[in-house]
Amino acid sequence: MRFAIATLGCKVNQYDSAIIESRLAARGWKRRDFTDAADVYVINTCTVTDRADSESLKLARRARRINPDARIVMTGCFAQANPEALANAAEVDAVVGLSRLDDLDRAVAGENSARVMVTNLRKTRAAIELKAVALEGQTRAFLKLQEGCDQFCSFCIVPTSRGRSRSVEPRHIIAALDELALRGFKEATLSGVHLGGYGRDLDPAIELADLLEMIAERSPITRIRVSSLDPEELSDRIIDVIAKSPSFCAHLHLPLQSGEDGILARMRRRYDRDFFRDRVERVLSAMPDAAIGTDLIVGFPGESAAQFEATREYVSGLPLAYLHVFPYSVRAGTTAARFPGRVGAGEIKRRAAEMRRIGEQKRSAFAARFVGRRLNVLLEESAEENTQQDTNDRWLSGYSRNYIRVLTSGPGAIANHVVEVEASLAKSAQLVGQVVPAGTGISFAAGAGPSI
């Protein structure tokens, strides 16, 4: 059996696709590129915008052209939120919602005659499959600890597509980290759809800070990243746990979305710009070298030129390490889709380009701060640069604990090793440096290194 997977959308979807691939591979089935002939095509859909929906259907039609006799199985957020739209498409053989991995296996194998297999995740507490995966080209593992969301921001369909917030029990997470260490992983990212909501659904309920304290005491892995947290859920206690434990990396991602309070209120966010600035300053007071990134949506309905300028000035003045900029796009079924005051496509494109320029400047400036300093780097892969002349070394790429991409040289077989690199040059948003010798040879640090 040959299968191919196409993944649309966010890293959570990439995580889910990696889980699907591992399950199918365990059955002895062979992975093929999506452009190649396969017996089954699995399309892990996104529904964050109307455009994402149409992209999913385009992929189904493309798969049907490649192999008219193949089975085409749709899963992911679009399949969960609007299964009828996919079931009505002639190219689609089966629609499987989220958290139904056994049904997905059967649909891929042609063992289930049902065309639509979707559970209402707002009414059902579906289990989460906790499994460590490494995304392509990375040696870092990802663990999804939480699924679903109860926030209902006005622009977001996730509470409908992913269902209620639900969490993995701490004992399973600790066991998974132990397993990762035995498998040789040196870094793990704790992820979730709404990670700040972790633990509220457990009995007894706990907070994310409780889990992080358990991990700080128990984890054998000494490079752990905490993925995106909404600003109002980043407590002083969480900051202190991350800052004081050598297990956690000095890196946080706090989605801002807008730097203007009127737009934040229309987005139904739960903080204002003063609160966001306070969180950034609190993090940096505890971890001066920390990387703080953010998400921004530009061109939200009703965003005037003056409001965009307020966001531009506000973000320009924040000590952020990087920006992820998203042009607003309509998502049917959300409150924002009904808002008046649509911003023209050309103006949205201009605003996005302006914010991305600011983001590039911030990323470069953050990296340049660490020229001349030593960084603890997990090497992941050979860089795009060619093998160095007159040596057997290659350019290698990895990330520091505070999420700066670092280039260094060494033998190509040292991926997934932690080394200490002295940065000598800032090259755009990345650093270039040499591995610091220890004694008579290169030291590959197994444990915690410098704070960055």
Confidence of residue 386 (pLDDT cuts 50, 70, 90): very low
**Complete edge-to-edge strand list for the sheet that includes strand 30-31:** 30-31, 2-7, 40-45, 71-76, 94-96, 116-117
Least confident of 13-17, 93-97, 286-290: 13-17
Question: How many distinct helices (H) and strands (E) make up the chain?
Answer: 13, 21
First to last CA, the chain: 46
Beta strand ranges found along 299-404 (DSSP E): 322-327, 374-382, 394-400
pLDDT for the residue numbered 412: 63
Confidence of residue 419 (pLDDT cuts 50, 70, 90): very high
Check: CB of residue 82 under 8 Å from CB of residue 57. Answer: no
Check: CB of residue 242 under 8 Å from CB of residue 282. Answer: no
Q: What is the pLDDT of residues 332-382, one digit of tens each?
A: 999 999 999 999 999 999 999 999 999 999 999 999 999 999 999 999 866
Look up residue 157 and give its amino acid: I
pLDDT for the residue numbered 139: 75
pLDDT value at 182 more than 50: yes
Least confident of 38-42, 56-60, 120-124, 316-320: 120-124
Q: Is the peptide bond before 319 cis (omega within 30 degrees of 0)?
A: no
What's the rounded mean pLDDT across residues 308-325? 98
Confidence of residue 140 (pLDDT cuts 50, 70, 90): confident
H/E stretch holding 364 reads helix 345-368
For the chain, the structural domain boundaries read 2-117, 141-368, 374-445
Those residues whose C-beta lies under 8 Å from the C-beta of residue 225, and which sit 6 or more positions away, are 140, 187, 188, 189, 190, 248, 249, 251, 403
Those residues whose C-beta lies under 8 Å from the C-beta of residue 398, and which sit 6 or more positions away, are 377, 378, 379, 380, 405, 406, 408, 419
135: left (phi > 0), else alpha (psi -120 to 50), else beta? Answer: beta
Q: Is 256 exposed, middle or buried (0-12, 13-18, 19+ CB in 10 A)?
A: buried
φ/ψ (deg, to 5) at 293: -110, 170
Q: Selecting from 3.30.360.10, 3.40.470.10, 3.40.50.1370, 3.80.30.20, what CATH number does the domain 141-368 have?
A: 3.80.30.20
H/E stretch holding 312 reads helix 305-316
Top-level CATH class of 2-117?
Answer: alpha beta
Q: What is the pLDDT of residues 63-76, one digit of tens each?
A: 999 999 999 999 99
Structure tokens at 245: 């434990």
Residues paired with residue 398 on neighbouring β-strands, in sequence order: 379, 406
pLDDT value at 439 more than 80: no
Confidence of residue 136 (pLDDT cuts 50, 70, 90): low
What is the C-alpha separation between 89 and 382, in angstroms, rounded? 42
Q: What is the pLDDT of residues 241-257, one digit of tens each?
A: 999 999 999 999 999 99
What's the rounded mean pLDDT across residues 403-426? 88
pLDDT for the residue numbered 414: 67
Confidence of residue 10 (pLDDT cuts 50, 70, 90): confident
Confidence of residue 451 (pLDDT cuts 50, 70, 90): very low
Please state, in angstroms and as integers, the Cα–Cα distance from residue 339 to each residue in 154, 258, 308, 334, following that order: 10, 17, 17, 10
Q: Which of 190, 288, 273, 204 lies closest to 243, judged by CA?
A: 288
pLDDT for the residue numbered 121: 87
What is the C-alpha separation between 344 and 325, in angstroms, rounded? 17
How many Cα atoms are found within 13 Å in the side-chain-facing hemisphere of 353?
A: 6
What count of other Cβ atoms lies within 10 Å of the Cβ of residue 154?
Answer: 17
